[in-house]
Chains A and B, each alone.
Chain A
Amino acid sequence: MACVSPDGKPTESGTKMLRALKSGLGSPEDIAKDAGLPLFRVRSGLRELAEAGLANQKDDRYELTEKGAELIG
């Protein structure tokens, strides 16, 4: 996984996305701009974060889960 390491911790790009979610951003486009990452990386990364239970998807938007919030402090 590109955004979540095998030990379950977010990678650098995963952490950037989680922080963007914490700041209230929810669309992949806004998160890509905020995190300075390509849009395709953010779309796939958010999917991974959701699979790992660190983010929830609602339609085309994402939000941080409690587990995700705990990981970035």
Chain B
Amino acid sequence: MEFLQTIPFDQLLIQTINGIVTGMILALVASGLTLIFGIMDVVNFAHGELFMLGAYFGVIVLGATGDFWLALVAASLIIALLGAAIYLTTLRPLLGRDPLTTLLSTFGVSLGLQNYALWQFGPVARKIAEPFTGHFSLFYLDYPWYRLVIALLSAAIIGALWLFLKFGTFGIWIRATTQDRVMAQAMGIPVPWVLTVVFAIGAGMAGASGVLFGPLVGVNPTMGLDWILKTLIVVVVGGMGNLAGSIAAAIFISLLEAYAALWVSPAQAVIVSFVVLILTLLFRPTGLFASSAK
């Protein structure tokens, strides 16, 4: 009983909310990555840079129009188109070759985009203003409403993706292509087009996450690096290509890190996700949340 009293319940609640908010953003980034991996066996190392460029396009559109929501939609669409262009020029010619070639290719794209951002926007972080600045009080804290809105919006976008995959004709095409690409072709499904669209959807989701997350941190050319690492951990822990698993893993790992930050510094708390990654690879290499939900 005495042990229970040492747990700070107020902080526990705050960290639960923080963990879920970060987890939902992470889930949004990771679902794009895992969707792409599931259908074409490509680990897109440039995914973090698409997130970063999404944030920058958000800054630009927000600066020009002053409308955050317009910036969110516009940046997502631009990044989706950019994703399609990257797929067509650097990945499509390599499909079916050694997986190492696509790894190198996306890694090269990642470096290129990072340095483009550095050259174009400079090293100084830019700021995206929150669309609204309201707070509510949570114990001794003023907790910004915007953080809860991020979590809800991320959930809404993931929910929309799920409905699209589950019920739409195009969603059936995507799932069929993921399960058996050759048979999908034999059924008349335009597989080259499906792959391009999936890459664009994944990229657009990364772009959207960048704009949503922008107000919480500065927008800078290397912000993609932190995310790609964490996203890869989430995708591996969730089971490569498993959408539901990635979402569960994103929330699970973010919550663990948030709780760990109660006792150690946030920088040290990051170790938790690596521990989870190593344990997963040792004991459940097909993913902690392995199911057949593709």
**Real complex partners, A and B?**
no
Chain A residues close to B by CB (< 8 Å): none
